Chains A and B, each alone.
Chain A
Amino acid sequence: MTDETEELSALLARVALRDRRAFQRLYDAAAPRLFAICLRMLKDRSEAEDALQEVFVRIWHNAGRYRPERGNAMAWLNTVARNHAIDRLRSARRGALGIEVAEVVADPGPGPEASAISRSETRRIEDCMSTLMPDRAEAVRLAYLDGASYLELSERYAIPLNTLRSWLRRSLLQLRRCLTP
């Protein structure tokens, strides 16, 4: 475990004990990354802010459910944010915004501390993504980062839903094989 992972894991344990100071430190450490996830998926600043608050409400209530043996703390936090943003995207009241409106969010450029993930790990996923056909790698990114649904993707690539789905399944399994040491 990296120092940061260990620190986040310890903060989560203290948040589970209802330690409000630890909660604030966890927010300071993780909110910029979780906000980036919400912004990228929701493409709307005020909705992303609202989503970020909801994400941290869930973190406050569910911190005790984090299991260190199942994965690192940042991945767990990112998953809480992604799941909530996806729920919002799929909720009925929201019309399809279209996945082509990416990059509405200003990009301040990654700093040296941009990511909890080690450089080698980042390179590994890039290497693995590059083993996929370019359009499939793009579809994985659109689904994972932009929250695109199978339906939206099948329209974008003009292929039947089932074909799209088996495309992505194969791509995921290929990625997992490549990523699993």
Chain B
Amino acid sequence: MTGLTEDDIALAGEYALGALPPEERAALSRRAETDPAFAAEVAAWETALDPLNAELPPVAPPPAAWRGLEKRLFPTAERPASPWRWLAAASGLSAAVLAAVLWLGQPAPPRPEALWISDMASEDGSVRVAALYDAARGEMRVSMGGAGPGANRDFELWLLGPDGGAVSLGLLPRDGQAAMAIPEGLRGAMAAATLAITDEPEGGAPGGVATGPVIATAVLRRI
């Protein structure tokens, strides 16, 4: 059972209603972050009370609201001005450190035959996937650990581009190891790329567009 008392259940309802004083509200919000049973109870209340919102007729926001939002989230200044910055952001290293590593490690242009690895794990740790990308062969070797996909489901591997698009790299094996050939056209984008795994219907995302929940994401790191 959840281990929640009657009082906890009522508190979760009061939190979902939103009328509590700010301090108490903040305390319950922190509790929901660390107490999954309480968080689930809050979510159950939120779902139960949600039909009340049907009393509000939708109101179209002015077009300026979307433009303002785009400007806040995707300012053009933040576009990768130099590949260093983008690489740095994707690999989680500072641009200076990354530049130093690359300069010290390889005076010549980056060797194309580099190996890249990535450890991906779902939030609850039940799904673990190790990936090794061999740039010389254009091949991704993956090794499945932990739980596989459910019945009639497949895990699909995605490459996330810097512009926000996701390109499918194919389906992951249900267990064991597999080698996945990376299409010629994508090989240039693999360095320090961000990968993601989603849970899709059997056979993969219909129309090449991800539909399922994201199981894990991780960055390919050079070894």
Contacts and interface: CB of A to CB of B under 8 A. Distances in A.
Contacts of B47: 70-72, 75
B59 A49 contact: no
Contact of A114 (B45, B54, B73): B54
A176 B22 CA distance: 24
A39 B164 CA distance: 31
Given A49-B61, A57-B72, A153 B164 contact: no
A110 interface: yes
| A interface, size bucket | 35 or more
Interface stretch (B104-112, B142-150, B208-216): B208-216
Interface string A2-45: 00000000100110111111001001000111011101100000
A154 to B, nearest CB: 10
A168 B99 CA distance: 60
B213 A13 contact: yes
Contacts of A75: 46-47, 50
B198 A33 contact: no
Interface stretch (B12-20, B129-137, B184-192): B12-20
B20 A150 contact: yes
Interface in B46-76: 46-62, 64-66, 68-69, 72-74
A170 to B, nearest CB: 9
Given A13-B213, A143-B18, A169-B10, A27 B48 contact: no
Given A149-B19, A168-B19, 15 more contacts: A13-B211, A16-B214, A17-B214, A27-B66, A37-B53, A67-B213, A71-B43, A75-B47, A86-B25, A117-B51, A149-B21, A150-B20, A168-B14, A172-B10, A176-B13
Interface of B: 9-10, 13-14, 16-22, 25, 40, 43-62, 64-66, 68-69, 72-74, 158, 160, 163-166, 196, 198, 209-214, 217
Interface of A: 10, 13-14, 16-21, 24, 27, 31-33, 35-37, 39-40, 49, 52-53, 56-57, 60, 64, 67-68, 70-72, 74-76, 78-79, 82-83, 86, 90, 105, 107-111, 114-115, 117, 121-122, 124-125, 140-141, 143-145, 147-151, 153, 165, 168-169, 172-173, 175-176, 179-180
